[in-house]
Amino acid sequence: MNSPGKVLTAATLFSRETLWQSWLDVEAALAETQAEMGIIPAEAAVAIRKAATLETLGVEALEADIRRTLAPVLSLTRLLSQAAGPAGDYVHWGATTQNVMQTGRILLIRQADQAIRLGLSGALDRLGALAEAEAETLTAGRTNRMHALPITFGFKVAGWIEEICRAADRLEDAGSRLFALPFGGAVGAMQAFGVQGQEINRRLAARLGLRELLVPGRTGNDLFAEYVVQLSMLAMTVERVAGELYLLMTQEIGEVAEVLDAGTVGSSTMPHKVNPKFVVKVLAQAAELRGLAGPALETGRSSHEGDAAQNGLLSAVLDRAVPLGWTMVEDFRQLLGRIALNRPRMAENAALSGGGIATENLMMRLAPLTGRAQAHDIVHHALEHGAGHPPLEVLSTAPEVTAHLTEGEIAAALDPAAYTGDSARIARDAAEMARARAGQLAG
């Protein structure tokens, strides 16, 4: 951007001034490309570049002209032409409004994409460290919100890591298509550029670091829609992880907590409450972003070679989705930095069923002796008949079980800590995956 000293943030990404400056950047790059090809004088491109700042044009002057014309790019190029002096005759040479607006927006989305990648890199770094540190921390695996089999917390985190990596891959893939130059004149066939149209497009794309389009028209909304859909998919994954953390923060479960700063207050009426603060914000952001997938898909129904109605909807969707994605990822990264685990509580919860959580292990110990189906029925019926009593007590006295295994073997089989399977290895492999992908995203 040509505005020195101004740092782009999620809040300012698509602000009026940021968008206007992005259009000026495109106009200057176009002039430089055309001067390079001898289409306009070299000194004109220098003067246009020098004048192509909001500080030079004046925000208030531009705003006033836009109120008159209701055509922002026309007003911008008019003021730029005046500011560039005699070189102003060569401003916006052969371009059309949508070329400039869409290209400027793509350049801004690319900057936001870089920030999103950095945020995901930080999140994966933290999840990788968590997976490694908790590779052997016993916890209850749950399906349908009921205890299933014992796992380690690192194994749980491994699932989050792999899903976030998939979401990052999809977003990166969508970005590889979106970051292209939609600059082909009024309808995309480059009529105003004559035989030089393709070369202008090639050189301008290279100057801006974008790829070329065969049809550089105004109706490629699918490229934007795909990117928003993938942001929504990322939001779905972030929501799943944050939602699970939120559930584990429930007082009755108590396995996870947020580390909050001193003086944090949870309720104005209940002095004992210190509510989670960070996870709820991420959940709200993720739910909103996920909901923008539908409107994004509506934008692809453009008619013919240009459709202002669909473009207006697209701008509205992008204005919300991309900054929200940036904010959500950064807040998610911060949330992960404030997670504290209650390992004793995890162990207590894993033991709540009195060994019931590891009955699959007992069944598999019986299976070679009785057959798998019969082993299942033996354990199931014993537990059914002994309902209300600890599984270890019931199974240690069930004749169908004790006929094959000793009391010590039964107790060993029902020890949750001895039946976490490949959890630790998977957690450590996921930690390596997280570190590697974090490095790629940061780079």
Q: Which residues contact 51 (CB under 8 A, 6 or more apart)?
A: 57, 80, 83, 84, 85, 87
6, pLDDT greater than 80: no
* Interatomic CA distance for residues 279 and 249, integer angstroms: 10
Cβ(364)–Cβ(357) under 8 Å?
Answer: no
Domains of the chain: 16-93 (1.10.275.10), 98-349 (1.20.200.10), 356-414 (no CATH)
Counting residues of the chain whose pLDDT is more than 90, the rounded percentage is 89
CA separation for the pair 215, 131 (Å, rounded): 46
Where does the pLDDT of residue 378 fall: very low under 50, low under 70, confident under 90, or very high at 90 and above?
very high
Could you report the per-residue pLDDT of 396-407, keeping only the tens digit for each? 999 999 999 999
In 333-372, which positions are buried (b, 16+ CB within 10 angstroms) versus exposed (e)?
bbbbebbebbeebbbebbbebebbbbbbbbbebbeeebee
Tell me: pLDDT of 413 over 90.
yes
- Asked if the model's pLDDT at residue 348 lies above 80, the reply is yes
Q: Is the dihedral of CA 258, 264, 266, 270 positive or negative?
A: positive
In this predicted structure, what is the pLDDT of residue 270? 79
Distance CA 274, CA 263 (A): 10
- Relative orientation angle of helices 72-83 and 59-69, to the nearest 10 degrees: 130
- In whole angstroms, what is the distance from residue 431 CA to residue 127 CA? 7
Each residue's pLDDT tens digit, 95-125 = 999 999 999 999 999 999 999 999 999 999 9
Whether pLDDT at 5 is above 60: no
Q: How does residue 43 score in pLDDT terms, banded at 50, 70 and 90?
A: very high
Calpha distance 271→283 (Å, rounded): 25
Its pTM stands at 0.94
What confidence tens digit (pLDDT) does each residue in 235-251 have?
999 999 999 999 999 99
| Residue 9 pLDDT | 96
What is the structure's pLDDT at 367?
97
Measured distance CA(119)–CA(229) in Å, rounded: 19
| Mean pLDDT (whole number) for 3-10 | 75
Nearest Cα neighbor of 336 from 435, 256, 262 is 256
Burial 39-49 (b: 16+ CB within 10 A, else e): bbbeebbbbbb
Is residue 266 scored above 70 in pLDDT? no
What value does the mean pLDDT take over residues 139-150?
96
Residue type, 67: R
Residue 232 pLDDT greater than 80, yes or no: yes
- As a whole number, the mean pLDDT across the chain is 95
Q: What average pLDDT does the segment 347-368 reach?
A: 96
Task: Give the pairing of strands 256-258 and 146-152.
Answer: unpaired
Termini Cα distance of the chain: 21
Contact in structure between 266 and 360 (CB atoms under 8 Å) = no
Helix or strand run (H / E) with residue 244:
helix 221-248
- 140, containing H or E segment: strand 138-143
Q: Are 416 and 348 in contact (CB under 8 A)?
A: no
pLDDT of residue 265: 72
